[in-house]
Amino acid sequence: MIKNILNLGDAALYCDFGSEVNQEINSNVIKYFYHIKKLNLKGITNLTPSYNKLIISYDLNIHSFLSLKKKIENIEIKENNKLEKNLIEIPVCCDNNFALDIKRVENKLKLKSEIILERFFSKNYFCYMTGFVAGMPFLGDLEKDMRLKRLETPRVKVPKGSVGITEQFCNIYTFETPGGWNILGNTPQNIFDTSNQSNPNLVNPGDTIKFYRITLDQYNEIKR
């Protein structure tokens, strides 16, 4: 299922699963990711799955590119290997103080805010990958008429918990960080828990997310 393995620098394999972004290709990436993770191969220092690539970083003292490439090429993943999937429900408040870009989204999509939010909450989303900053999930797919580009000028600080959309994806800002996604609301739920060292991510690749809408009072109640 890996189309091609290249090198990324001198200490990482760049496994290419295709150029498209869809759940089928991504599910293959995630299967390989979990499978190789379980093998616990000595000298592999990091695995980074994304939409359609898997990057395998290794210790140059232990592996060379060609020897590790051969090892990975010989891995067999059965088509019927099941992906572990959890359904996770996440509350989101779309109060004016949180929906930072709702006006921009209304203008760009030419839809009323209530319609936008109704469509946003009516769908389940698939987690393609987590990362950029700790625990940030990249979720998809939004309906075609809900897709728009990121902000022309990214915000210097996006508040923690912000839920944003861009193109076919939505995400949750697990930390206050710079960013350019269109923010529709904010979740009071902690998505990344530093104190939980065995499983700090609430959302993992392959999981399904259901957002549900809450009022400001409910938001404050959960926050407390």
**Interface positions with other proteins (CB under 8 A):** 6-12, 14, 19, 21, 33, 37, 44-55, 57, 60-61, 64-65, 129-136, 138, 174-175, 177, 192, 194, 197, 200-201, 204-205
Nearest-approach distance from CB 43 to other proteins, in angstroms: 10
Task: Identify which of residues 68 and 94 has a Cβ nearer to other proteins in the complex.
Answer: 68
Q: Report in angstroms how near the CB of residue 7 gets to other proteins at its nearest.
A: 5
We find the least distance from the C-beta atom of residue 129 to other proteins, in angstroms, to be: 7
Q: Please report the DSSP string for 170-184 in residue order.
A: EEE-SS-EEE--EEE
* Residue-wise DSSP of 59-110: -TTT--HHHHHHHHHT----TTPPPP--EEEEEEE--TTT-TTHHHHHHHHT
CA 138 centroid distance within chain: 2
Least Å from the CB of residue 10 to other proteins: 4
Torsion of CA 22, 27, 33, 34, to 10 degrees: 160
* Helix axes 113-121 and 102-109, enclosed angle (nearest 10): 100
Q: Which is nearer to other proteins, 80 or 153 (CB)?
A: 153
Q: Residue 69 or 123: which CB sits closer to other proteins? A: 69
- The residue (of 8 and 88) whose beta carbon lies closer to other proteins is 8
